[in-house]
């Protein structure tokens, strides 16, 4: 059960059978239908989420009602409303299923106990956060330094599987452009070939 998750973890830290069992015991499964919310802005989000199957999208809705995609999460990725999780405040973002999805949740309380009991998990998440840190910085710099067409090309290179699975509209909202613009960019790229 949950081999992919354990394998993922094993690439960072080595666990005893006992620790594995403990870890697995705090996971709570959850299923979502396409278009269903996992977290809504205003909710208390008190868990980390691991995606077993499917695809989630985290997005922020601005004052004008425009959706800005913060992140996607597909199989073997983690997601959460980190803001809500660490501050205890209501979430600022929505997380919804783009496809029928199967998740594993770790409640904040269980998470806190886990990392205290088994510091290797503290390590695991520290390392994962460092990687996210780098990815975030990269995204920030790319958004500042590159025109939209190049950002789109980077996206398709970096996440080819996402490119396939996602509607244009959502990719546009991740890249920070309008669907119309992305449509035009794609046309130009096809023509250019």
Partner DNA sequence: CGTCTATTTGAATGTACTCAAAAGCGGTGG
Partner DNA sequence: CCACCGCTTTTGAGTACATTCAAATAGACG
By CB under 7 A, name the binding residues for DNA: 66, 147-149, 167-169, 176-187
Q: Per rule CB under 8 A, is residue 36 in the interface with a copy of itself? A: no
CB-wise, 1 or 190, nearer to DNA? 190
Residues, the chain, total? 193
CB-wise, 144 or 190, nearer to a copy of itself? 144
CB-wise, 44 or 102, nearer to a copy of itself? 44
CB-wise, 4 or 137, nearer to a copy of itself? 137
Query: Which residue is associated with the tokens 């059978």?
Result: 17
Q: Per rule CB under 8 A, is residue 109 in the interface with a copy of itself? A: no
Site string for a copy of itself, 49-88 (x = CB under 8 A): -----------x-x---x-x-xx----------xx-xxx-
DSSP letter for 90, please.
P
Cα 158–chain centre separation:
15
Q: Per rule CB under 8 A, is residue 122 in the interface with a copy of itself? A: yes
CB-wise, 1 or 144, nearer to DNA? 144
Q: Which does 95 bind (CB under 5 to 8 A by kind): a copy of itself, DNA, none?
A: none
Looking at the DSSP bridge assignments, the partners of residue 124 are: none
Cα 152–chain centre separation:
19
Report the C-alpha gap between 168 and 128 in whole angstroms: 28
At 117, list the tokens. Answer: 């009991």
| Residue 157 burial (10 A CB sphere; 0-12, 13-18, 19+) | exposed
CA trace torsion 37, 35, 31, 170 (10° rounding)? -90
Q: Which residues bind a copy of itself (CB under 8 A)?
A: 60, 62, 66, 68, 70-71, 82-83, 85-87, 115, 119, 122-123, 125-127, 129-134, 136-141, 143-146, 176
């Amino acid at each position: 059960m949950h081999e992919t998750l354990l394998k993922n973890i094993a690439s960072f830290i080595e666990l005893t059978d006992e620790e594995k069992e403990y870890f697995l015991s705090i996971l709570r499964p959850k299923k979502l239908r396409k278009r269903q919310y996992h977290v809504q802005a205003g909710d208390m989000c008190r868990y980390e989420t691991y995606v077993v199957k499917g695809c989630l999208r985290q997005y922020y809705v601005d004052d004008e009602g425009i959706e800005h995609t913060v992140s996607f999460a597909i199989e073997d990725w983690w997601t959460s409303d980190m803001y809500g999780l660490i501050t205890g405040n209501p979430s600022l973002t929505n997380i919804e299923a783009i496809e029928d999805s199967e998740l594993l949740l770790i409640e904040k309380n269980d998470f806190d106990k886990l990392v205290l009991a088994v510091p290797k998990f503290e390590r695991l998440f520290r390392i994962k956060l460092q990687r996210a840190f780098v990815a975030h910085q990269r995204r920030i710099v790319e958004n500042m330094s590159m025109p939209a067409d190049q950002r789109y090309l980077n996206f398709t290179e970096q996440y080819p599987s996402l490119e396939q699975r996602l509607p244009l509209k959502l990719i546009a909202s991740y890249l920070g452009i309008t669907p119309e613009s992305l449509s035009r960019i794609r046309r130009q790229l096809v023509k250019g070939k």
